[in-house]
Structure 1
């Protein structure tokens, strides 16, 4: 073999080695520099008291879901890396591999089960109505026919509102936007999850609106993971079980809702 050919072969080997080394470096960059395992969490941080950013502009995401998913990740030996994404973009983001899990007050239902795998339920909610305090026409869901209703886009509130005969449904980006529309007089009622409506009234001290007693549904929230990722589902379920057994779940629940679970 000639010297030129030998030199050419050596250069090829070096180039291939460098290529594989570069690829390995990119793969390692997905984790943290100190070797910690990272759980990439997708949220829509406009759903207080489950996930939101405080009014002081802190970059730290707060809420029941945020405390719980951080505790779940810690129990699994991971660090939670939280990413804020529009609610209707959460499942596509997971399907494309940008996040590992969704922790965003997501209701477990048959439609979503076709797209994702859910953890065991971690919260039970239901849809309720908020109306102006002086409204006497709307006393429950049966009275919403032909009314203007504000909901958050991509939620079960939107799905249920669209079933109401003659209703004009305004789908908005956040639950906060729905209350702004109500206060501005642009809609007759808001449909949101029970804790969202109660938290808004408590947090703002609003006296010009009221939450109606009727609860349309009984809904369970779950963490969503990519379809077929049974290993991660099991790890999350095991962590949830441990947190409920050691009392940590109850502490987080009481912090955000003022009562123990089931009260």
Structure 2
């Protein structure tokens, strides 16, 4: 019996070792081929904003995220996977989108993310799908008319953690104080409560805030160029190529302009015609 017990113990230990070795040899979720996995599940998982009107905003009535980027992601998913292809959406913020991608929780980021050299060290980007520009949102009648006015009297400008707009302010208005909030909803609340003279981010995002908050306006035009790209993990060459190809097909079919008009066609201060492709 003792010999039998030892034999069983050895077999169990060996099987456990094989399981461990097999697990160690498997690829991390983020390193797996996204195209292969997407075709097997017929699904692409996108990281999108849920607090950014016009681009991605949670509808409290049905719990669905709606916006330009959501509709574009759906259209591109069908181009890659076919008409029955499914787009899943995971809510991200400027500070959580990169970790979620790196961990493999999402396949791609389409969340008002500007293509920058610093970010390109960590992820790969598709070509731009939306050309934005940084601007300022202020209360009507504010003495702040452009970014240079933020230098006066050490004005406080509000931004969002993880957004490169805060870094841009430091270049254009080095004397300004910066208060960073976790998301755009909190930043807008801070502006309304007088914690800062201006809120800064890309003009498209600010336009959505202006629509929701009468009495607040965009000023100073755009003082940067902010091309939005879809981010994927390094090494996902095939997936990146498929995304670029899908974007081209959506543009050439006229579907891109239909989606653009749906979300930006009636926004004051934005010339959506100039954004068409």
Q: TM-score, normalised by structure 1?
A: 0.83
Checking the alignment, whether the CA contact within 8 Å between 1:119 and 1:224 is kept in structure 2 is yes
2:47 aligned residue (31, 42, 49): 42
Aligned residue in 2 for 1:60: 64
Checking the alignment, whether the CA contact within 8 Å between 1:124 and 1:220 is kept in structure 2 is yes
Could you tell me how far apart the structure 2 residues matched to 1:233 and 1:124 are? 19
Aligned residue in 2 for 1:73: 77
Could you tell me how far apart the structure 1 residues matched to 2:108 and 2:196 are? 34
CA-CA distance at 1:44 after TM superposition:
3.0
2:249 is equivalent to residue 249 of structure 1: no
Checking the alignment, whether the CA contact within 8 Å between 1:253 and 1:261 is kept in structure 2 is no
Superposition RMSD in Å: 3.0
Could you tell me how far apart the structure 2 residues matched to 1:158 and 1:177 are? 15
CA deviation vs aligned residue, 1:88-142 (integer Å, no higher than 9, x gap): 121122122222110101001111111111011110000111122122x322111
Moved more, 149-158 or 238-247: 149-158
2:242 is equivalent to residue 235 of structure 1: yes
CA-CA distance at 1:35 after TM superposition:
5.5
Could you tell me how far apart the structure 2 residues matched to 1:57 and 1:151 are? 28
Unaligned runs of 5+ in 1: none
Could you tell me how far apart the structure 2 residues matched to 1:170 and 1:248 are? 39
**SS of residue in 2 equivalent to 1:87:** coil
CA-CA distance at 1:46 after TM superposition:
1.6
Could you tell me how far apart the structure 2 residues matched to 1:64 and 1:130 are? 21
Q: TM-score, normalised by structure 2?
A: 0.79
Aligned residue in 2 for 1:181: 190
